């Protein structure tokens, strides 16, 4: 239910009108306040400038409509029922469940500061990021940096998110991993959330990076052990970045479950092959006994230990 709603929540433009027919979920969302009630809508085409528009209408004099751009005459289609997402609802509900507070808009319909919470005696600022199709992350990163107040945790509306958003002081967590949407309302799993957020000591992290025996590019796409290099892609990058982050915090062999959670992978992944199908990843990454680590030395090219590569 939550993932379906988040698909609508992420639609562009933010005020897009959605069909109000064929979904039993929408009336429940209206009752919760997550969507506006359905209204009669008209699709029109301007015969002068060619603008196609969909507008919600209360009156029924459809043929008196004019173009919203140039005021020209429009052709209209038969009316149907449309509804819109209430983007204030989700950040409001999350802020209420985190600390019974009100969210602060950092970027309209894109980024909200939800709350500041204490996890294991460390202050953490929590945000919600609406993941649109826009590839431009610079404004989001700039807004987060302007708002920087210690450790940042960003809840994302999609499982996938740009690697550059995450760094040593900023953790990205897909909302679907810590929340559920039921007919009764939004449920937030604070225990899972808190267990995912590991307190970070900046000085300890800096010292940990000095102790690295490996080289890892900032985006996680290249892992180098001496003269051997492994190229990674997309979620594989987040997987290795999570291992490196644990190392920098003093955990050279973190739990597999923690790394999977941290990198946005499902805990149903039980082997390296499910993370990366290329067998050479086992030359660089040790996956065994419930733990995962970056090897001190890359194994030989002809390495084919099926137990490790599982």
Question: Which three-class secondary structure state does DSSP give residue 137?
Answer: coil
Q: Which domain holds residue 171?
A: 89-196
CA atoms within 13 A on the CB side of 293: 15
Q: Quick one: CA dihedral 264, 268, 272, 277, positive or negative?
A: negative
Same domain, 122 and 178: yes
- Any residues with CB less than 8 A from the CB of 300 and at least 6 apart, and which? 283
pLDDT tens digits for range 209-227 = 667 889 988 888 899 998 8
Query: Per-residue pLDDT for the chain (310 aa), expressed as one digit of tens each?
Result: 898 899 889 988 888 888 777 678 888 999 999 998 888 888 889 999 999 888 777 665 666 788 888 988 888 888 788 888 999 999 999 999 999 889 999 999 999 999 988 887 778 899 999 988 777 888 998 999 888 766 789 999 988 777 677 765 678 889 998 999 998 999 999 988 887 776 555 545 656 666 788 998 888 889 999 888 999 887 888 899 889 888 877 778 888 888 888 888 888 888 888 888 888 899 999 999 889 999 999 888 776 554 444 4
Element (H, E) at 113: strand 111-119
C-alpha 154/C-alpha 141 separation (Å) is: 11
Instruction: Mark which of 35, 66, 83 sits at the end of a domain.
Output: 83
Same domain, 101 and 169: yes
pLDDT tens digits for range 25-42 = 888 999 999 998 888 888
Same domain, 280 and 234: yes
**Is the N-terminal amide bond of 13 cis, ω within 30° of 0?**
yes
Q: Is there a contact between 185 and 94 (Cβ–Cβ < 8 Å)?
A: no
Q: Quick one: CA dihedral 179, 181, 182, 188, positive or negative?
A: positive
Same domain, 185 and 258: no
Domains: count for the chain: 3
């Amino acid at each position: 239910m939550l993932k379906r709603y988040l698909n609508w929540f992420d639609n562009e433009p933010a005020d897009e009108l959605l069909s109000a027919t064929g979904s039993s979920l929408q009336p429940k969302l209206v009752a919760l306040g997550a969507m506006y009630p359905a209204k009669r809508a008209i699709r029109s085409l301007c015969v002068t400038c060619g603008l196609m528009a969909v507008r919600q209408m209360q009156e029924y004099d459809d043929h008196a409509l004019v173009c919203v751009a140039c005021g020209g005459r429009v052709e209209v289609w038969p009316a149907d029922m449309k509804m819109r997402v209430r983007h204030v609802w989700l950040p409001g509900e999350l802020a209420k469940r985190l600390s019974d507070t009100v969210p602060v808009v950092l970027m309209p319909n894109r980024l909200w500061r939800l709350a500041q919470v204490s996890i294991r005696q460390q202050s953490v600022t929590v945000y919600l990021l609406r993941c649109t199709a826009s590839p431009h992350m610079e404004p989001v990163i700039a807004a987060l940096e302007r708002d920087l107040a210690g450790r940042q945790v960003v809840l994302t509306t999609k499982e996938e998110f740009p690697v550059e958003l995450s760094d040593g002081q900023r953790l990205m967590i897909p909302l679907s991993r810590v929340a559920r949407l039921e007919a009764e309302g939004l449920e937030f799993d604070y225990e899972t959330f808190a267990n995912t957020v590991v307190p970070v000591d900046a000085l300890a992290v800096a010292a940990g990076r000095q102790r690295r025996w490996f080289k890892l590019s900032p985006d996680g796409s290249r892992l180098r052990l001496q003269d051997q290099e492994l190229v990674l892609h997309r979620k594989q990058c987040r997987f290795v970045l999570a291992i490196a982050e644990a190392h920098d915090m003093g955990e050279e062999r973190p739990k597999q479950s923690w790394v999977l959670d941290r990198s946005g992978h499902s805990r149903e992944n039980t082997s390296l092959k499910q993370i990366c199908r290329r067998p050479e990843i086992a030359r660089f990454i040790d996956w065994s006994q419930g733990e995962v680590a970056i090897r001190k030395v890359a194994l030989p090219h002809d390495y084919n230990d099926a137990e490790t590569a599982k």
